[in-house]
Chain A
Amino acid sequence: VCFVPGGSDCSISFISHVLGKVCVQGRQKEILSVLVPQLADLTRSDCIWQRICWRLLECVPDRWMEAVLLGFVQRAPGADALSRLLGNLVVKNKKAEFVVTQKLLLLQYGHTTAVLQNLLGYLALDSLRRGLLIKVLQELLETWGSSSAVKHSPPEQQQYISKAILICISHLKEPEIESCRQELLRSMMEGVKCHLDSNLPQIRRLGMVVAESISAKINTDGPVLKFQYEEDDEVRELKSLLAQTPPLCVVPSLPDDDRNEKADTAPPLALGGNKSSATAAPAMPDEESDAELDSDDDLVPYDMSEDKELKTKAPVYIRDCIEVLTGSEDVDKWEATVKALESLVRKNPAATREVSVELAKILLHLEEKTCIEGFVELRQRAQVAVLTTDPIRVAEYLTSQFYSLNYSLRQRMDILDVLVLAAQELSYPKSRGKTKHSDAQKPCIQLIPGSDSSKDWRKIVDERIKSKTQRFATGQSQVETSSPNEFNSVAGHFFFPLIQHFDRPLTTFDLLGEDHIVLGRLVHTLAVLMYLAANTMAVTAMGRALLEFVWALRFHTDSYVRQGLLSCISSVLLSVPGERLLEDTTEELLEAQSWLGDVMEKDPDGDCRRLALQNLLLMENLKKKLRTVPS
């Protein structure tokens, strides 16, 4: 398509119509991939071409405007090119304004970052259009800050809006910031609150990054908001949006102040990783090189190699540990005790069993007295050790405390973590002590705990075989010694008390209300416990209880909780043997199946949909497997 440059007035409305029709039919790519670069080139230096282009677009009928505009926005090589091509179209044409400010930003979210940058850069480039930029920013912030949007919209859309906000902010100039500083601050505070309330870490991070950026922009001289989060690719990408790169080609027709703006919006932002490595080496006072010989100092030093730093010794008995942890003022001893506790508990199971509940209580309430490294982990490992040594009583204690008054959310979640870790340890078949393992190999060392005739005969047979076979070479024999599943007898004790009281609110703890983060963790914990309970006796009863629990909570608004519920179903399907599932829980399964179909189609969260699909597939496989087995 080439235009004949003539001196005459020509009407190009016909061409606009053609363009519009072609675009609306879906042929944007073909026509615009030729048209846009050529127009971009032509309009670079020639004002007449610019005007022709603007006229072209103005004449596109409203019903096709969106398609054309979208194509242009996607294909323009940069915001300035877009500006040349579109001119002040958004100001003149209502439909164009709607498309650019509302539809592309708020209603759709599938576009790339480049499109966003083009669009918003375009809005920022001309003073007539900057008003629109501010308006757009306000609307974006409103959406970003509304709690229902944060809860119900998909994470991809939230990411898109966050990116748009960051780009807008990077375009704002000082006087504009001044005028809307209060509003920015207000929306930021509201928005940050909703974001931090969410259970999904991605949403929280988005909220934190955007809030930090807004705060940095509006408080250039005061203290800035700073969050602690892990930087990953997404975060880095978001932060890079704040740094504006100057345009690739400088257009002479652009007003001067815009060019300056671009030049200094390449700020030395968080690229100030030049933390002054204040490694001013402290001048060590040099040891005096004793050049002088002292003739009358003939005192011979003794061996001082044992002179090391003093370490307090940890107590050796469990009861001493309890004393130190509860009463002692000696912080060195306290520290040493905390570090040594786990190994002591594991080495003295009998002694631990005598005081297990007391020890569990102390550990649950143990707070960091001094600054030890890894205190939380040490405490958790000690708790797990106590729980595995005396599962039933300690599990009873912990599950009852989970639903008691006056615990912090962190403590309740710690209880859940400890239960899961202990269940994992108990359900795995590895032998708990190295000595046990080696004893099973050597038939001569008799360490039979009980008069187990089954072990005897095996030893006798082994010896007989050994004496009668000629061995030419003994290879590595990897015999996995099997041991009884220790989780079998206690699975129910871990599981049922947790599920019992979930709907009974206490004054300080309301699982179904605002403490939904604990509910989410509880649901995930139940899923793991269910999975680990495979091959235990209680598994069918657990499965049934869990399916009922899931049914009661299936419409929960928090997506983390829903993901947990779906993993519960997966665990049930994987752990409970197929026949038992079909016989005992048929109605629950059918109800679950219909719910899963619903979730798969309509749930806003991508992970939930994926999990629902997996569950349906599992169910299908199960049915197939059971059908092929001849009953």
Chain B
Amino acid sequence: MALPPPDPQFVLRGTGASVHTLHFSCGGQEPAVPTLFSGSENGLIHVWNLKTHRVDTALDGHGRKSVYCLETMGSKDRLFSQGRDQRICLWDLAEGRASVMDSVFTENVGFCRCSLLKVAQGRWLVAMAAKALEEVQVLELPSKTSVCTLKPEVGAKLGMPMCLKLWQLNGGLQPLLLAGYEDGSVVLWNLSMGKALSQLVCHQEPVMSLDFDSEKTKGISGSSEKVLSIWSLNEQQNLQVYKTHTLVNAGISDITIRPDKKILATAGWDHRIRIFGWKKMKPLAVLDYHTATVHCVSFSDHKNPSERLLAAGSKDHRISIWSIYTQT
């Protein structure tokens, strides 16, 4: 007899607007407070204290335009945020400060979230959608120099890039980029040569989100239709479809694989969060709490496995925090 799905451990209220992005920063040493960063449609970034469940600070750096991507660079004092005001802001939050150190003007009016990858100490690569319609630009931070611009070939008709993921094989070799496009295909790019290694049409509709497991070289993508597509990378660096999974309701906004690669979570347009086992895509749970589209899901980076959390932000202005499958 299966148990009914669990309730959220707690719910964070107070953003006042749709929550578009979440990022945990809980891996710090003991005195550091576990923190959750959330970006909302009203342009504010809320810094939540997960011990008191209250907002510690609210950062306003995007001129009241929606913030749709948040990452931390190294520690939780360095925040990277992207907003619809066509800017990427780098924040310095150490010692109670809340100032924008640097910003990059992306000239892109789309919704594609950036992807950040640490390549060396103090050096980061960020991939973002560029000004021209189908292009992806890769910059190095903090120097803000352009590494390459990835242009699909003429006539490819991929549409806008919808979601990006920078990754490296475990040997620390050259970084690669996976990009999901508007026409439903996922393309693997080689950054140093600036050309596409493989392209796979996974969906009939635009790819809304994707995530990749670099150990197993297997990835998953979700789109506005009912199908989740799981694909893998073989030795020749070619993408091929491994499996598909059909959902009850159409529309996925976000997919995240937990850092221990055991489970993954999807955020759905049908207000539900779905948990699957990553090994075999076994459906594990359907978490039904929100009353509007869930925009983002994120797993925490707690060092202690039993403290791990899952957060989901939704259009109904709430962030639900769940503690699920923490025993493994």
Contacts and interface: CB of A to CB of B under 8 A. Distances in A.
A482 to B, nearest CB: 49
Nearest to B263: A299
A297 B4 contact: no
B284 A301 contact: yes
A388 B248 CA distance: 41
Interface stretch (B28-36, B101-109, B270-278, B295-303): B270-278
B280 interface: yes
Given A285-B244, A304-B5, A307-B272, A299 B283 contact: no
B279 interface: yes
B263 A294 contact: no
Contacts of B248: 307-309
Contacts of B282: 297, 299, 301
A306 B288 CA distance: 9
Contact of B277 (A285, A299, A304): A299
Given A299-B262, A302-B3, A307-B272, A290 B249 contact: no
B6 interface: yes
B304 interface: no
A9 interface: no
Contacts of A294: 279-280
Given A307-B248, A310-B249, A310-B270, A302 B2 contact: yes
Interface string B248-290: 1100000000000011000000111000010110111110100
Nearest to B249: A310
A609 B41 CA distance: 75
A235 to B, nearest CB: 43
A12 B3 CA distance: 107
Name which of A299, A300, A308, A309 has the most chain B CB atoms within 10 A of its CB: A299
Contacts of A308: 248
Contacts of B271: 310
Contacts of B244: 285
Given A297-B279, A307-B286, A302 B5 contact: yes
B328 interface: yes
B325 interface: yes
Interface in A285-315: 285, 288, 290, 294, 297-304, 306-310
A299 B2 contact: no
Given A308-B248, A309-B249, A310-B249, A303 B284 contact: no
Contact of A301 (B6, B285, B288): B285
B272 A298 contact: no
A96 B122 CA distance: 112
Name which of A285, A308, A310 has the most chain B CB atoms within 10 A of its CB: A310
B249 A302 contact: no
A290 B281 CA distance: 11
Interface string A250-288: 000000000000000000000000000000000001001
A297 B272 CA distance: 24
Contacts of B3: 302-303
A65 B298 CA distance: 101
Interface residues of B, number: 25
Name which of A288, A303, A306, A307 has the most chain B CB atoms within 10 A of its CB: A307
Contact of A302 (B4, B262, B263): B4
Contacts of A307: 248, 272, 286, 288
Contacts of A306: 5, 286, 288
A458 B5 CA distance: 58
A303 B4 contact: yes
Contacts of A300: 2, 284
A303 B279 contact: no
Contacts of A288: 243
Interface in B77-129: none
A299 B286 contact: no
A228 to B, nearest CB: 33
A290 B280 contact: yes
Nearest to B262: A299
Contacts of A290: 280
B280 A297 contact: yes
Contacts of B263: 299
A299 B249 contact: no
A309 B5 CA distance: 17
A301 B280 contact: no
A310 to B, nearest CB: 4
Contacts of B243: 288
Contacts of A309: 248-249
B279 A304 contact: no
Nearest to B268: A310
Contacts of A298: 328
A302 B6 contact: yes
B292 to A, nearest CB: 11
Contacts of B262: 299
Contacts of A310: 249, 270-271
A293 to B, nearest CB: 11
Contacts of B270: 310
A307 B282 CA distance: 15
Contact of A299 (B5, B6, B328): B328
Contacts of B328: 298-299
B134 to A, nearest CB: 30
Nearest to A307: B286
Nearest to B281: A288
Nearest to B251: A310
Nearest to A308: B248
B242 to A, nearest CB: 11
A304 B328 CA distance: 21
A300 B282 CA distance: 10
Interface in A371-426: none
Interface in B36-94: none
A285 B288 CA distance: 29
Interface in A303-348: 303-304, 306-310
A301 B248 CA distance: 17
A262 to B, nearest CB: 54
Interface in A93-149: none
A427 B214 CA distance: 75
B284 A299 contact: yes
B280 A304 contact: no
Interface in A151-177: none
Contacts of B4: 302-303
A63 to B, nearest CB: 82
B283 A301 contact: yes
Nearest to B274: A307
Contacts of A302: 2-6, 284-286
Given A290-B280, A307-B286, A310-B249, A301 B272 contact: no
Contacts of B5: 302-304, 306
B325 A299 contact: yes
Name which of B3, B244, B272, B285 has the most chain A CB atoms within 10 A of its CB: B285
A553 B239 CA distance: 79
A297 B277 contact: yes
A304 B286 contact: yes
Contacts of A297: 277, 279-280, 282
A3 B210 CA distance: 101
Contacts of B279: 294, 297
A160 B4 CA distance: 73
Interface in A176-209: none
A307 to B, nearest CB: 4
18 contacts: A297-B277, A297-B282, A299-B263, A299-B277, A300-B2, A301-B282, A302-B5, A302-B284, A302-B285, A303-B2, A304-B285, A306-B5, A307-B272, A307-B286, A307-B288, A308-B248, A309-B249, A310-B270
Interface of A: 285, 288, 290, 294, 297-304, 306-310
Given A285-B244, A299-B284, 8 more contacts: A299-B277, A301-B2, A302-B2, A302-B284, A302-B285, A303-B2, A309-B248, A309-B249
List 4 A-B pairs, minimum CB-CB distance, nearest first. Answer: A303-B2, A302-B285, A307-B286, A310-B270
Interface of B: 2-6, 243-244, 248-249, 262-263, 270-272, 277, 279-280, 282-286, 288, 325, 328
